[in-house]
């Protein structure tokens, strides 16, 4: 089950990054309170810390994380922004997740 743990950690990491970017967006673009920068900054700090928890090489983790981030961004688009993903959004997310799985779970000798 290390694959499930890795994927779950990526999901939480992506949520922290998206939230950390969304809260300042609300302040800058939607005129919400500047105090949103505080939880936004904390969320981005959590994002960095969560990325450091993966045992794989950093470059590999960053590359694979991108696939999960794409999936989570499309899910955010749907659940938070209320915009239903297109077929191409879903296909693109699936391809990105497949890429993440290949990068993270391929057999390695070293």
What does each of the 110 residues of the chain score in pLDDT, given as a tens digit? 677 888 889 899 999 999 999 999 999 999 999 999 999 999 999 999 998 888 777 788 888 889 999 999 999 999 999 999 999 999 999 999 999 999 888 888 76
For the entire predicted model, the pTM comes to 0.82
pLDDT (0 to 100) of residue 59: 81
Q: Is 38 exposed, middle or buried (0-12, 13-18, 19+ CB in 10 A)?
A: exposed
pLDDT (0 to 100) of residue 109: 78
pLDDT (0 to 100) of residue 110: 63
Domain segments of the chain as ranges? 2-105
């Amino acid at each position: 089950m290390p694959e499930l743990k890795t994927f779950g950690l990526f999901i939480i990491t992506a949520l922290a990054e998206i939230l950390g970017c969304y809260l300042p967006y609300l302040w800058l673009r939607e005129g919400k309170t500047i105090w949103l920068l505080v939880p936004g900054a904390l969320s981005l700090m959590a994002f960095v810390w969560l990325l450091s928890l993966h045992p794989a090489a950093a470059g590999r983790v960053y590359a694979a994380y991108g696939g999960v981030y794409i999936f989570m961004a499309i899910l955010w688009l749907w659940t938070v922004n209320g915009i239903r993903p297109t077929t191409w959004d879903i296909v693109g997310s699936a391809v990105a997740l497949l890429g993440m799985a290949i990068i993270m779970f391929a057999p390695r000798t070293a």
